[in-house]
A and B are shown apart, each in its own frame.
Chain A
Amino acid sequence: MIELTLKHALADLEIDIRFSSSARCLALFGDSGAGKTTILNAIAGLLRPRHARIVLDNQILIDSAAGIDMPPAARGVGYVFQDGRLFPHLSVRGNLLYGAQARHRKAIQFERLVELLELGPLLDRRPHNLSGGERQRVAIGRALASEPRILLLDEPLTGLHHEARVQVLDHLRRLKQELHVATLLVSHQVDEVIALADEVIRVHAGTLSAQLDTAQFQRG
């Protein structure tokens, strides 16, 4: 369950959006430059919005009016960045365990994630020895291994060639079935949204243009 109100000015875009959803996988769909990533960054706490109120499962992440602003490290989001951002000096295993170690917890899901994402043979490799699709799977695994309350996927399939794209999409679908982690997917690809989302928010020029269930979205 997420409730979000966000007002924020970027250099070339004014974001003014408000929505709430209890969909397990909610997609933010729209052209690039519509402000979708900014919304994810606001949820993760990576930007200082002009005005925001974001509530995740009854916990206030930020409420500018009330002076509440949780630090990113405490928000418990698993962010899969569009540009990967795997730690280049750590092995795949080191990357996957980073979140659990940072939070001084045991990585309970580790074995399961390695299996679901088929990362076993890659565990001792460094990120620069991975293909694009492998890197993205590790990034997804790293975010999930931190046991987030919400998974933020920013264009997770962009930049992958066709085969890798199909494969990663397949993994994402399996994870959705197996793990039941609330997910916010940012995408401008219709097939991705249809494959993964339960509900879709169309974002246009920083505002909400429609909130649809996936069937409505599919009809156009």
Chain B
Amino acid sequence: MTALSIDEWQALALSLRVATLSVVVSLPFALGLAWLLSRRRFPGRLLIEALLFLPLTLPPVVTGYALLILFGRHGWIGESLAQIGIVFAFRWTGAVLAAAVMGFPLLVLSIRVAFDNVDQRLERAAETLGASAWRRFVTIVVPLSTRGIIAGSVLAFARAFGEFGATITFVSSIPGETRTLPIAIYELMSVSGGDAGVQRLTVVAFAVALAATITAAVFGGSLWGRRRDD
């Protein structure tokens, strides 16, 4: 097997950047939402949970279309954002947004399970010692959930790395801008003589996905039905 071509490297590098940023950007929101779902009872909770899982259940092309309606150049939110210089449509930033939306449920779910596993009696103890809700979150809940947070981040990264449908619908395929690795594979398949490239990128995709699931399994014991050992 020969080495990756320049275009293939470009697609790989873009996918890695998009997937990494999508996790970094969505992590604070995921931590907040996971905490709400784990620790608070409030009206509308069920609705939020249902909405949260939509990206997992909707056809990705529909999610991509919804993003276009919301964040496109003339979208409901996109139009206002464009005025302050934030543009998603047909930009790599849009690929990050699509990837973040698709990975979000996995991220929240893993973190929420980890939060649920934190002994709340420790939080009560911290409270008697004078710790505010924020301090308890930062010093007790998050550190005791590290493994779940890592597992969730890795899963969300893998999901984002493999994102295809929502991305191509929302930001199309622009080399170096939005043509991520899965999109590059798809396009190479319709080009004569593209087989070798398809095979090379497929191997790369396999390697990344496998590394991610193994890492997630190592860190996310509780998600996979094992007790956490700390």
Q: A residues touching B (Cβ–Cβ < 8 Å)?
A: 44-46, 71-79, 81, 83, 85, 87-89, 98-99, 102-103, 142-143, 146
Distance, CA A197 to CA B80, complexed state (A): 69
Knowing A81-B121, A85-B121 touch, does A102 contact B144 (C-beta < 8 A)? no
A residues near B131, Cβ cutoff 8 Å: 73, 98, 102
Q: Look across to chain B and name the residue whose beta carbon is closest to the beta carbon of A74.
A: B130
B residues near A75, Cβ cutoff 8 Å: 128
Closest chain A CB from B133 CB (angstroms): 8
How many A-B contacts at CB < 8 Å in the complex? 59
Q: B residues touching A (Cβ–Cβ < 8 Å)?
A: 119, 121-122, 124-132, 135, 139-140, 143-144, 230
A residues near B121, Cβ cutoff 8 Å: 81, 83, 85
Distance, CA A61 to CA B124, complexed state (A): 17
A46, A81, A103: the one contacting B130 at CB < 8 Å is A103
Distance, CA A98 to CA B124, complexed state (A): 13
B122 touches A46 (CB 8 A): no
A87 touches B130 (CB 8 A): no
Q: List 19 A-B contacts (CB under 8 A).
A: A45-B128, A46-B127, A46-B128, A72-B124, A72-B127, A72-B128, A73-B127, A73-B128, A75-B128, A77-B128, A85-B119, A85-B121, A87-B122, A88-B144, A88-B230, A98-B129, A103-B129, A103-B130, A143-B129
Closest chain A CB from B27 CB (angstroms): 20
Knowing A73-B127, A78-B128, A88-B144 touch, does A102 contact B122 (C-beta < 8 A)? no
The interface centre, meaning the residue of A71, A77, A78, A98 with most chain B CB atoms within 10 A of its CB, is A98
Closest chain A CB from B187 CB (angstroms): 48
Closest chain A CB from B229 CB (angstroms): 11
Distance, CA A9 to CA B124, complexed state (A): 21
B125 touches A102 (CB 8 A): no
A99 touches B230 (CB 8 A): no
Closest chain A CB from B88 CB (angstroms): 39
Q: Look across to chain B and name the residue whose beta carbon is closest to the beta carbon of A72.
A: B127
B130 touches A102 (CB 8 A): yes
B132 touches A102 (CB 8 A): yes
Distance, CA A72 to CA B129, complexed state (A): 8
Q: Look across to chain A and name the residue whose beta carbon is closest to the beta carbon of B144.
A: A89
Distance, CA A74 to CA B133, complexed state (A): 12
A79 touches B128 (CB 8 A): yes
Distance, CA A77 to CA B121, complexed state (A): 16
Closest chain B CB from A161 CB (angstroms): 24
B129 touches A142 (CB 8 A): yes
A residues near B126, Cβ cutoff 8 Å: 87, 98, 102
Extra inter-chain contacts (11) besides given A73-B130, A102-B130, CB under 8 Å: A45-B128, A72-B124, A77-B128, A78-B128, A79-B128, A81-B125, A89-B230, A98-B126, A103-B129, A142-B129, A143-B129
Distance, CA A46 to CA B129, complexed state (A): 12
Knowing A85-B121, A88-B144, A89-B143 touch, does A102 contact B129 (C-beta < 8 A)? yes
A residues near B143, Cβ cutoff 8 Å: 89
Q: 3 tightest A-B contacts by CB?
A: A99-B129, A102-B131, A102-B130
Q: Look across to chain A and name the residue whose beta carbon is closest to the beta carbon of B133.
A: A73
Closest chain A CB from B126 CB (angstroms): 7
Distance, CA A102 to CA B139, complexed state (A): 10
B230 touches A102 (CB 8 A): no
Closest chain A CB from B118 CB (angstroms): 10
Closest chain B CB from A155 CB (angstroms): 15
Knowing A88-B230, A146-B129 touch, does A46 contact B124 (C-beta < 8 A)? yes
Distance, CA A85 to CA B119, complexed state (A): 9
